[in-house]
Structure 1
């Protein structure tokens, strides 16, 4: 009888604790591996940054962060899977801008949206750029804006950030232009160096080795201010263009993740994002560190989504 009373008392205490705190039956968070989806292929820039962040977070969380690549449909397959995962803090997604602020305006019937997630932290960002061959007649943005005839510009796909960036620039510069799509960054650079296009747009980090070798020249970047990583490269804003775009990298959780769990995730991953390991990785890769709190990242994504929705509509892409 005494044993039965003890069991009933324990059960009542558990129910009371769950009601008051919303705690998980798994115990204090985190008590097991945290799963992090990356909706892009293994070995790519997003994947590598996610793994460095995960390793740094392990030191803070006391639990391993297991990265799983779920690819397909420009990142939307993995993003949809993450949106539908258990909202217990053990399921996260490390994502880039496209699946969250571009694809929802380009693709039909996606099973998620911005409101499907809560942001844990923003980690880094990269501006896109205008780049030409080093011996191009366009040595400055002013040279390009004064071009006569049709300027050909290469990008890595319709609806990508770099494609929409080019649409914005050429329309504001009032130039005749032709946009050419390439399958991947390597072919994009080959197209430029081979003289197939006059100018290309991609993130600055992918251009650095070609700039160092003297093959490519970057005319301007889309960040609001010059980056300390490349202080000699002007921004389009300072050249008079109303263009501010960035490729952001951030961590998110399903929308119903409890507040107390989110607080722990924000604290631990916030420290990891600013750790020596992550900072060194970003500096080595010429990627801008851009730590943001969860609420700051959510505001940035909302603003970007509204901006790209208008650009896509104005460009007749949907």
Structure 2
């Protein structure tokens, strides 16, 4: 049985179309000497992630470079709760003047579909996509599991416990699909953020966690955790010894998108600045070195195409959730 989530076929097509718009690569317009004029002095980047979680790391690293290309000060605001519902509501209620944006991931679509919050992904205007992120299965380095098959064998004997970031996350869906593909009934324990899940993997409460490579980087470098497999279609260039989940015998693949969205009705003067700035940021040599090391893949989708990308992802995700009985 084959499962593909994250960048689905329709969503993948949108990415290919976006690449075509830039000649199959990111535009290489050189950075201007001065940052572009912007209508706001302070811009707040809202994330549903806890400090240290994947989205938190993403926006904090991004904010270090944005000021070189947009004439504003960037701050990060963590709005936790409701698997992203509170963060979405916070941004949906903000003025559409370019002062507040939300860090988009598949979570805000899953939450909208699974829990029917007052404000959903439809109440935000997708601004621009920036990255595709790698999802991996990991365990503590001093634990008993050397391969993904070891984890599955344990789950077949006495169920086991697996961790995911929150109930409405792509990681949770990946864990559920891995369970189905492997024919096991592991208990999946969800957390509001990746930091809490990491602690439970390290102390042995959880056999494995499903998370984002970039939020695991420090623990990987310190030798505290072992990456057992990646959900990517291909092996990670930075970790060529780590097999894919599919190579390990379980036909599940996913990639997470990362971008920004704002309140409905963003003015052209705002969206144009971001379209141009993000392309420059992604070509910034210092930032490019940093995000490449974090196994983030630049996937620029401009404002005019990003809403269709999100809608395609939401449509495909809703069909999958109905097929599996998660929603009616």
Using the TM superposition, give the Cα deviation of residue 172 of structure 1 relative to its aligned residue in structure 2, in angstroms. 0.9
Structure 1 stretches of 5 or more lacking a match? 1-27
Structure 2 residue matching 1:257: 3-state secondary structure: coil
After superposition, the C-alpha distances for 1:263-310 in whole angstroms (9 at most, x for unaligned) are 3320122212332343244245x2413231225644543343334434
Using the TM superposition, give the Cα deviation of residue 166 of structure 1 relative to its aligned residue in structure 2, in angstroms. 0.8
Using the TM superposition, give the Cα deviation of residue 232 of structure 1 relative to its aligned residue in structure 2, in angstroms. 1.9
Q: Which residue of 1 aligns with 2:132?
A: 125
- More displaced 10-residue stretch of structure 1: 76-85 or 223-232: 76-85
Cα 1:287–1:81 shift into 2, 3 Å: same
Instruction: Say which of 258, 265, 271 aligns to 2:280.
Output: 271
Equivalent residues, number: 287
Counterparts in 2 of 1:132-147, with a 5 A limit? Answer: 132-134=139-141, 138-147=145-154
Using the TM superposition, give the Cα deviation of residue 41 of structure 1 relative to its aligned residue in structure 2, in angstroms. 6.4
Counterparts in 2 of 1:25-64, with a 5 A limit? Answer: 30-33=38-41, 35-40=43-48, 43-44=51-52, 45-61=54-70, 63-64=71-72
- Structure 2 residue 124 is the aligned partner of structure 1 residue 116: yes
Q: Distance in 1 between matches of 2:185 and 2:56?
A: 37
Using the TM superposition, give the Cα deviation of residue 104 of structure 1 relative to its aligned residue in structure 2, in angstroms. 0.4
Cα 1:191–1:76 shift into 2, 3 Å: closer
Structure 1 residue matching 2:211: 3-state secondary structure: strand
Structure 2 stretches of 5 or more lacking a match? 1-35
- Structure 2 residue 208 is the aligned partner of structure 1 residue 199: yes
Q: Distance in 1 between matches of 2:76 and 2:259?
A: 16
Using the TM superposition, give the Cα deviation of residue 221 of structure 1 relative to its aligned residue in structure 2, in angstroms. 1.0
Q: Which residue of 2 aligns with 1:104?
A: 112
Cα 1:242–1:260 shift into 2, 3 Å: farther
Q: Distance in 1 between matches of 2:61 and 2:138?
A: 29
Structure 2 residue matching 1:176: 3-state secondary structure: coil
Q: Distance in 1 between matches of 2:181 and 2:166?
A: 21
- Structure 2 residue 78 is the aligned partner of structure 1 residue 65: no
Q: Distance in 2 between matches of 1:52 and 1:157?
A: 22
- Structure 2 residue 223 is the aligned partner of structure 1 residue 217: no
Cα 1:48–1:313 shift into 2, 3 Å: same
Structure 1 residue matching 2:127: 3-state secondary structure: strand
Structure 1 residue matching 2:133: 3-state secondary structure: strand
The TM-score, its normalising length taken from structure 2, stands at: 0.72
Structure 1 residue matching 2:240: 3-state secondary structure: coil
Q: Contact 1:127/1:221 (CA < 8 Å) preserved in 2?
A: yes
RMSD (CA atoms): 3.3
Counterparts in 2 of 1:151-230, with a 5 A limit? Answer: 151-152=159-160, 153-182=162-191, 184-230=193-239
Q: Distance in 2 between matches of 1:197 and 1:32?
A: 45
Q: Contact 2:60/2:76 (CA < 8 Å) preserved in 1?
A: no
The TM-score, its normalising length taken from structure 1, stands at: 0.74
Structure 1 residue matching 2:69: 3-state secondary structure: helix
Using the TM superposition, give the Cα deviation of residue 48 of structure 1 relative to its aligned residue in structure 2, in angstroms. 4.7
Instruction: Say which of 301, 313, 319 aligns to 1:293.
Output: 301
Q: Distance in 2 between matches of 1:303 and 1:78?
A: 22
Cα 1:71–1:144 shift into 2, 3 Å: closer
Q: Which residue of 1 aligns with 2:13?
A: none
Q: Which residue of 1 aligns with 2:18?
A: none
Cα 1:316–1:116 shift into 2, 3 Å: same
Q: Which residue of 1 aligns with 2:20?
A: none
Using the TM superposition, give the Cα deviation of residue 67 of structure 1 relative to its aligned residue in structure 2, in angstroms. 2.3
Q: Distance in 1 between matches of 2:103 and 2:282?
A: 14
Q: Distance in 2 between matches of 1:107 and 1:212?
A: 37
Considering only CA atoms, is the larger Rg found in Structure 1 or Structure 2?
1
